[in-house]
Amino acid sequence: MNQDTLSRLPARIALVGPTAASKTAVAIALSKQLPLELISADSMQVYRHMDIGTAKPTSEEQAAARFHLIDVVNPDESWTLSDFQREGTLKCEEIAARNNTPLIVGGTGLYSRALTEDLRIPITPPNEELREKWRKISEEFGTHTLYAAVLGIDPEAAARIHINDAKRLIRVLEVFEYQGRTISELHAENRDHAEKQDVLLFGLNFADRDLLYSRINKRVEVMMEQGFLREVEELLASGYSPELNPMQSLGYRHLSQVLLGNMKLDDAVDLLKRDTRHFARRQLIWFRADQRIRWIEMDSLTTEEAAENICSVIMEARSEK
């Protein structure tokens, strides 16, 4: 890589998109063409012992490219968006000091924004009293009651959150009671004050939605073949409560219910496939709102071809600067 090419790279590059869109594979292929180090922008891959269900890069993949912010904390330890922004910013500075460029890779929308904008995160510390109040309401009346409360104060947030996602629904209500403002208002204020950095953002997607959904279904099946149920069993046996936030995430909450005797395995797998498809749809809604993202349709592309396309766009975009 000659010095002229290096000087034409942006300070940061991001690769986002829905689950099962080949982000990790394309990122690795791209790192073979450009001097990149990968920062995982996935809110679940930071947790140790949670590998299969988070689609964490394998040991072979991690040997093929340099990854950061994977296996940072245990499932029962606190990790917030603010933690990610702080640690991610430090990693970006370290990568730049090595004359490399950070490639921010993942499907957690706020994580990618935290490192591609001057995202001013409102500090709303956890309030266990408020959380316990809403948890009791959820247990007594169902999560649809939480959803109705969120819909009443913040319809924009309600559109992004699944009706059964008690953790995120409670967080929206907690922020509103603590701040006196909705979480969507705070996010909008961030957008209004955002100072865009020297970044290029790319999104991977499939124009054929059925193809994306088929890939999601297949991914769930492969995870089960790889031992996802055993992974969840080992987490529970290690003393990690099924009520922990990470254990309430996609797949982990489904299989925990199987191991607790509350659901049949086949039903849990079918439900996981459906919920993951719904999650991918919400990811796309989130990312489509970011006009900076340049989309790459993966329907007929190999990962190497997608990486070549992205590399070409980067060079063309920088030559216009």
**Spatial contact of 154 and 184, defined as CB atoms under 8 Å apart:** yes
Each residue of 1-31: b (16+ CB within 10 Å) or e? Answer: eeeeeeeebbebbbbbbbbbbbbbbbbbbbb
What are the tokens at 37? Answer: 């180090």
Tens-place pLDDT, residues 74-88: 999 999 888 999 999
Instruction: List the single range of 27-41, 163-177, 232-246, 281-295 with lowest mean pLDDT.
Output: 163-177
Domains in the chain: ranges and CATH? 3-119+194-319 (3.40.50.300), 128-189 (1.10.20.140)
Answer yes or no: is pLDDT of 288 > 80. yes
Tens-place pLDDT, residues 96-111: 999 999 999 999 999 9
- Residue 119 pLDDT grade (very low, low, confident, very high; cuts 50, 70, 90): low
Answer yes or no: is pLDDT of 188 > 80. no
HEC secondary structure over the chain: CCHHHHHCCCCEEEEECCCCCCHHHHHHHHHCCCCEEEEECCCCCCECCCCCCCCCCCHHHHHHCCEECCCCECCCCCCCHHHHHHHHHHHHHHHHHCCCEEEEECCCHHHHHHHHCCCCCCCCCCCHHHHHHHHHHHHHHCHHHHHHHHHHHCHHHHHHCCCCCHHHHHHHHHHHHHHCCCHHHHHHHHHHHCCCCCEEEEEEECCCHHHHHHHHHHHHHHHHHHCHHHHHHHHHHCCCCCCCCHHHCCCHHHHHHHHCCCCCHHHHHHHHHHHHHHHHHHHHHHHHCCCCEEEEECCCCCHHHHHHHHHHHHHHHHHCC
CA atoms within a 13 Å half-sphere pointing along the CA-CB vector of 74: 7
Cα separation values, 164 from 64, 95, 169, 248, 315, Å: 38, 39, 9, 10, 44
For residue 156, the model assigns a pLDDT of 87
Answer yes or no: is pLDDT of 186 > 90. no
For residue 2, the model assigns a pLDDT of 46
For residue 113, the model assigns a pLDDT of 92
- Residue 310 pLDDT grade (very low, low, confident, very high; cuts 50, 70, 90): very high
- Residue 5 pLDDT grade (very low, low, confident, very high; cuts 50, 70, 90): low
For residue 179, the model assigns a pLDDT of 78
Answer yes or no: is pLDDT of 181 > 80. yes
For residue 36, the model assigns a pLDDT of 97
- Residue 269 pLDDT grade (very low, low, confident, very high; cuts 50, 70, 90): very high
Answer yes or no: is pLDDT of 33 > 80. yes
Count of beta carbons in the 10 Å neighbourhood of residue 120: 13
Q: Pairing state of beta strands 199-205 and 36-40?
A: unpaired
Mean pLDDT for the chain overall: 90
Taking the model in full, what pTM does it have? 0.80
Tens-place pLDDT, residues 36-46: 999 999 999 99
For residue 281, the model assigns a pLDDT of 96
